[in-house]
Amino acid sequence: MALQLAGLTPLLQVFDMNASVRFYRDLLGFEIVSASPVIEAAEGRYFHWCWLRLGPVALMLNTAYDADERPAARDDARWRGHEDAGLFLGCPDIEAAHAHLVAQGVNAEAPTAAPYGLKRFTVRDPDGYPLTFQALD
């Protein structure tokens, strides 16, 4: 029997859960499907894990540190490692998506045609993960 799959849900480690939720939920439009219990910590109220969905796209976020272990600032060496990862999102209307995100204040490069036949643009989330929106050109 061949392997049958019903989806893929990447898990991203994040430094500041509230900033990541604002980006994915408030700017991109993802909905929170599920989350761990809210905690009180020095950096405020937040949850350590959540599952987000926008249409058929799912994503999970998890805090990179427990509340009592999180450093005061990001360790740049750790977060530079995100250059090796990328999320590519199918998006049928690249121009409209780009205009919407720019209107929301997201720093988004202009859409370009890729050499492999897709039109695309990339944004970065608060932790530096690249999200490339793409469609057949």
Class of 85-137 in CATH? alpha beta
pLDDT of residue 88: 93
- Provide the pairing of β-strand 44-47 with 38-41: antiparallel
pLDDT of residue 50: 98
What is the CATH number that goes with domain 7-66?
3.10.180.10
Query: What distances in angstroms separate CA 43 from CA 15, 47, 50, one per listed residue?
Result: 11, 12, 18
Tokens of 32: 């929170």
Can you tell me whether residue 17 is helix, strand or coil?
A: helix
Instruction: Locate the domains of the chain by residue range.
Output: 7-66, 85-137
Per-run averaged pLDDT (10 residues), the chain, 137 residues = 87 94 96 95 88 96 85 79 84 94 92 93 93 89
Same fold: 7-66 with 85-137: yes
pLDDT of residue 44: 83
pLDDT of residue 75: 80
pTM: 0.90
Rounded CA-CA distance 137/127 in Å is 29
pLDDT of residue 35: 97
